[in-house]
Chain A
Amino acid sequence: MAGQPKDRRPNVVRNASSRPKGTYAILILVAVVGASLLAYAATRKPESQPIAAEPVKIDVANAGPPQGYMMGKADAPVKILEFADFECPACGRFATITEPDVRTRIVDAGLASITYFDFPLPQHRNSQPASNAAACADDQGKFWPMHDQIFGSQDEWNTQATDDPKPFFMKYAAAIGLDQSKFESCYNARTHQKRIEANFAEGERRQVNSTPTFFVGDQRYTTALSYDELKKIVDSVAKK
């Protein structure tokens, strides 16, 4: 038959007879290498993220006093300070995955307070507007609900998604029951720009160069801590 391979022998159980004995050895090797790399990736300490190439145009020397957003008791025995950027994915994961546990089991339990400071990185164009929206929500006592909305929907308003994040912040303002006209006039006027700048300047003063960065006691942590890690740190600071 034309085009038929010449060297093929008929009636040969090809795959069965030619299956090398090493097949399973190869698969086991791939499994061991893959599992080892995965275990390494899952347990390694993340490298601190590089500092942004260009500094935000903030006058650090002349910034006012920082004013973060605190949750918990003012006289809590341990104070957790968080410097975060609303657009930073690691901050988003901390806020949406880890923080609910932190709130109920550390903050609500009275073990520590947590204070959020804006640290909008310059490569995240929509992060300052997000800080602006959160600060305006704070005027109506709803910083944290807005914080949760912003982080929870990070991918719909971030720099990659849109050049105009305001409609999204308006939507969140409606969702959490803010007085929308007050919110909008505050947002448009950038009423709290100085506060955001002061919080950023505080981060600079503390040599924050990646987000999220946490300060607990006299220690600095430059990674998104897990609940267990944070709990351990809070417990150890409380004992001091």
Chain B
Amino acid sequence: MTKRTIVAALALAGIFVALYLLLYKIGIVGNLSCSIGSCETVNTSKWAVFLGAPVAAWGVGFYVVMFSLALVSLQDRYADSLGMSKLLVLVSGAGFLFSAWLTSLELFVIHAICQWCVMSAIIVTLIFLVSILDLRAERDTEKITSS
């Protein structure tokens, strides 16, 4: 399995996690399955909305973009594209920072943890780390091919 396949698979899983939270937020899923933490406290707090849209909707958008990029990067044409590796790191890095901010809000401001939000934070962290590994590998290849 290539690193980019891992990124695509993680992003796809992230889409479902964020979609679940979004469906809850807009009232389609009645109750969150929440065995750890206080999902409702987090998802009904005022920080569950960012720039007029539910944070979960931003999450869905982010993962869809990430998944699309990963899929494109898997195509032969971009398979060795250093630029694509950089883009993956850039986008996942932005997602990682946003997620870190949300997690710090949960811990220090809302004082409640939502297990699905934590799962999303873990997924985005893994995507970021794997993207960095992909970039490093791509740079190594670049050095070899240009030497």
Residue positions of A touching B, CB distance < 8 A: 1, 4-5, 8-16, 18-20, 22-23, 26-27, 30-31, 34-35, 37-38, 41-42, 46-47, 49, 89-90, 92-93, 97-98, 154-156, 158, 160-161, 223-224
Contacts and interface: CB of A to CB of B under 8 A. Distances in A.
Contacts of B46: 155-156, 161
Nearest to B12: A30
A38 B15 CA distance: 11
B120 to A, nearest CB: 13
A155 B12 contact: no
A34 B144 CA distance: 39
Contacts of A11: 145
10 contacts: A4-B144, A5-B140, A8-B141, A11-B145, A13-B79, A15-B74, A16-B80, A22-B1, A23-B1, A90-B30
A30 B110 contact: no
A38 B5 contact: no
A13 B80 contact: yes
Given A18-B2, A42-B23, A155-B45, A10 B147 contact: yes
B5 A26 contact: yes
Contacts of A223: 30-31
Given A23-B2, A160-B41, A160-B112, A41 B80 contact: no
B95 to A, nearest CB: 18
B143 A155 contact: no
A2 to B, nearest CB: 11
Contact of B2 (A20, A30, A38): A20
B52 interface: no
Q: Is the interface of A mostly helix, strand, loop or mixed?
A: helix
Contacts of B141: 8, 12, 14
Interface string B110-147: 11100000000000000000000000010011011101
Nearest to B31: A46
Contacts of B27: 93, 97-98
Given A19-B74, A23-B2, A38 B144 contact: no
A34 B44 contact: no
Nearest to A87: B44
B80 A47 contact: no
**Which 6 pairs of residues, A with B, have the shortest CB-CB distance?**
A34-B16, A15-B79, A16-B79, A46-B31, A97-B27, A89-B40
A37 B76 contact: no
B9 interface: yes
Given A4-B144, A155-B44, A223-B30, A34 B13 contact: yes
B139 to A, nearest CB: 11
B28 interface: yes
A22 B1 CA distance: 8
Interface string B4-19: 1100110011011001
